Amino acid sequence: MSRILRATVFAGALTLAISGCGGVGGGSDEGGGTATKGALSTMGFGFSDEIATTRIEAFKRDNPDVELKVTEGAFDEQQFLSAVASGNPPDLVYMDRKLIGTYAKRGAIQPLTQCVDKQDIDLGQYRPAAREQVTLDGTVYGIPEFSTVRVVYLNEGLLKKAGLTADQVNLADWAALPALNAKLASVSGGRLDRIGIDPKIPEFLPMWAKANGVDMLSADGRAAKLDDPKVIEALTTGVNLIQQQGGWGAFKSFRDTFDFFGAQNPLSKNQIVAWPMEEWFLNQAAKNSPNAELVVKPFVDRQGKPLTQSAGQAWVITKGAKNPDAACAFVKKMTATDTWLAAAKARVDARKAAGQPFTGVYTANAEADKKIFDELYQPTGNKRFDDAVATIRSVQDAAFALPASPAGAEFDKAYYDAVNRVLAGQEQPAQALQRAQREATAALDKAAK
Amino acid sequence: MATVTPPVPGRRHRTPLARREARWAYLFLAPWIIGFLIFYAGPMLASLWLSFTEYDVINPPQYTGLDNYRQLMSDPAVARSLGNTVYYTALHVPLVMLISLGLALLLKRVGRLQGFFRTVFYLPVMTPAVAVGILFLLLLNTQDGLINRALGLVGIAGPSWTTDPHWVMPGIILMSLWSLGSTVIIYLAALQNVPRDLYEAAAIDGAGSWARFRSVTLPMISGALFFTLIVNTIASLQMFTEVYTMYFGNRETQNTFNSDAASFYVIHLFQEAFQFLHMGFASAMAWLLFVIILIITLIQVKLSNRFVYYEGEDK
């Protein structure tokens, strides 16, 4: 019997481990305040650079009576939920915009209607794609911060070696992509030495689908369209590009060795020719590979029209926020045009001190971006980078975003898993996306109840 | 003539000293008992209640009866993750035990350098699980990983350990062998406790090395073997950190690895609880695992009556 008891205790310990997981409360018990006074706590944000610190300082300067407590670190769902469950949530959370629909639907975050009115926040200044991502059923739940967009990077040196120009890389012509890819990639003996075209799936599948004329998720975020023939076609196109380059095993293992943040990046090491990627790589390239033969082009749909997918973070105010007024003042200040301008000025100064070019700050506030580029931006003198900055600016208005959804995380998982099954050779695109459609629909239906 | 009352079977006669000692024992045990009640028993009971509810952590739980358990039985993702976990356990536990026993037998013969090698074998156990996950992601890289490079030296084209669904689990099992040091140390200690005279007696009786190992060593260390069987089985069924770090830990890995092949039961449970906010369903998953572990452990305990020898125990 004693052995049975021992076994029970073992098993009990297991249950504790898996059912009693807790987090760290991010809020404060010190009492809140009213207006712009009292304690104010944030989660998911950090003083990572001058853009962050300048804006925090601006808020502190304007609100000396607010005792701001910034719990540094990326947003952690477990930490956040534990804080909510314990009745001690932080006032503000800095989270990925695609999570907002889920938390809004469940009532974990506040509608910002009153906040917007009270602080007279002009929602019109924010880019439409970012605004849509923080809006569920017509109600705004978050104030967007940065705007990350995707463009196509080309290694012109490698293109020249293949006898091609940047203009000849036409991502609108899907039928011609395999031939182009074959010219650019280098595969020998099953070993991939250079990627020709990286379709960046599964992450960029929504952008390929959009280029093919279909949204993977309905505008209200409640209906998946993953088994649409155009999505299947987009996935098939991307998968074929990878299969051409030694298959997913070789392709991924080669790509996993890339360091996009250092001097030994794949551009400088001539490891990749054409790839869509977020605009932040331009900053890294300007810093680490200023002499690289880089060309940046817009991603395009099948008619050749520029297209990009927008993503980024947003500030939300939690339902149990103890100091919602100060929180509202905070989100306004952090995303206001003047604050962004001051932060960008700090970035310009920092880059100048380091002898590096300033290639812009891209926010979800269109007015702020205009001022930053009108008043602070100076061409670097390197035509490649200056053209790239112009390209990135030009595609901001062509951006779309996956809409806020009450089951955003499950929707993402459904299509990521589908693409990975196809890449691993387990399923065909149609079969995988049909299963993903069933999984996503079940999750969306359940979340909508 | 004085009569002596025989002790009543099943009822202990306790002296005042024994009672006083028992009170002190409970006093010293109190911190653990209180901790157990608050941090173990409390959450266990709470999770049992939550398993009968729809609960997203944010809103109050709604009683749904056996719905979560019905869903458990029909959810293919649960079956997949449980299948992966059982597959891993079935291979990992015997492998760890066999290799650890082999290493412990070798270590026992090393002589003066035993202390050095003991430390060497134990050092990997000290490596944080997250670091092990990241390390093996690099080691298992198809094109440039050390493992496939080593295989290449002997003319073997290594598999795609992290992307081919058939090779994901063998890669994880390979990784799990990194931290077998503690099992080695337990076996070594058990081997060193086997009385030398038993071997001498067996040798005099004409037993060869295999017969001595089978008839002397194995029975004498069966207690340690049983302990590691139980502990490793439970740990395997709870596998989380290393695999989560490798395949689910950040946006990049979450996006580009095959989650079907690497989905372990506790990882799926964690995702249901904290990513999809299905805490009630996750609690039901936790209780199913609890029952599975309980049953497996009870079977092992039952079987141990036949195979495990405890010194000083009457059989």
At residue B308, the pLDDT reads 84
For A162-172, what is each residue's pLDDT tens digit? 999 999 999 99
B160 and A19: CB-CB below 8 Å?
Answer: no
A248 and B163: CB-CB below 8 Å?
Answer: yes
For B207-257, what is each residue's pLDDT tens digit? 999 999 999 999 999 999 999 999 999 999 999 999 999 888 766 656 777
The number of CA neighbours under 13 Å toward the Cβ of A146 is: 19
| Whole-number average pLDDT of chain B | 89
Q: Give the whole-number percent of chain A exceeding pLDDT 70.
A: 92
A250 touches chain B (CB under 8 A): yes
At residue A9, the pLDDT reads 38
At residue B111, the pLDDT reads 79
Task: List the 183-212 stretch of A: residues with Cβ below 8 A of B.
Answer: 190-192, 202-203
Q: Which CATH architecture has domain A151-308+407-448?
A: 3-Layer(aba) Sandwich (3.40)
Model confidence at A15: pLDDT above 50: no
pLDDT band at residue A11, thresholds of 50, 70 and 90?
Answer: very low
Domain residue ranges of chain B, discontinuous segments joined by +: 76-307
A409 contacts on B by Cβ (under 8 Å): 275-276
Task: List the 294-333 stretch of A: residues with Cβ below 8 A of B.
Answer: 319
pLDDT band at residue A219, thresholds of 50, 70 and 90?
Answer: very high
B258 contacts on A by Cβ (under 8 Å): 417, 420-421, 423-424, 426
Model confidence at A26: pLDDT above 70: no
Pull the structure tokens for residue B99.
């290799």
A407 touches chain B (CB under 8 A): yes
Q: Which CATH architecture has domain B76-307?
A: Orthogonal Bundle (1.10)
Shortest distance, CA B77 to any CA of chain A (angstroms): 10
At residue A6, the pLDDT reads 41
For B66-117, what is each residue's pLDDT tens digit? 999 999 999 999 999 999 999 999 999 999 999 999 999 999 988 788 888 8
DSSP A393-418: HHHGGGEE-PPP-TTHHHHHHHHHHH
At residue A5, the pLDDT reads 39
B297 and A11: CB-CB below 8 Å?
Answer: yes
CA B14, chain centre distance (Å): 39
Q: Which of A27-31, A216-220, B104-108, B307-311 has the lowest mean pLDDT?
A: A27-31
Which residue carries 């002190």 as its tokens? Answer: B24
Domain with CATH 3.40.190.10 in chain A: 30-149+310-404, 151-308+407-448
The b/e string for A389-428 (b: 16+ C-beta within 10 A; e otherwise) is bebbbebbebbbbbbbbbbbbbbbbbbbbbbbbbbbbbbe
At residue B83, the pLDDT reads 96
Mean pLDDT, residues A187-216 taken together: 94
DSSP A347-397: HHHHHHHTT-------BSBHHHHHHIIIII----S-HHHHHHHHHHHHHGG
Q: What is the C-alpha separation between A280 and A147, in angstroms, rounded?
A: 10
Q: Which of A20, A192, A407 sits opposite B43 (nearest CB)?
A: A20
B247 contacts on A by Cβ (under 8 Å): none
Could you confirm whether domain A30-149+310-404 is CATH 3.40.190.10?
yes
- If you measure CA to CA, which chain A residue comes closest to B148? A253
For A234-248, what is each residue's pLDDT tens digit? 999 999 999 999 999
Q: Which of B137, B255, B304 sits opposite A416 (nearest CB)?
A: B255
A417 touches chain B (CB under 8 A): yes
Shortest distance, CA B38 to any CA of chain A (angstroms): 11
Q: What angle do CA A412, A414, A416 make, to 5 degrees?
A: 65
Picking from B258, B266, B287 by the largest number of A CB atoms within 10 A of its own CB, the best residue to mutate is: B258
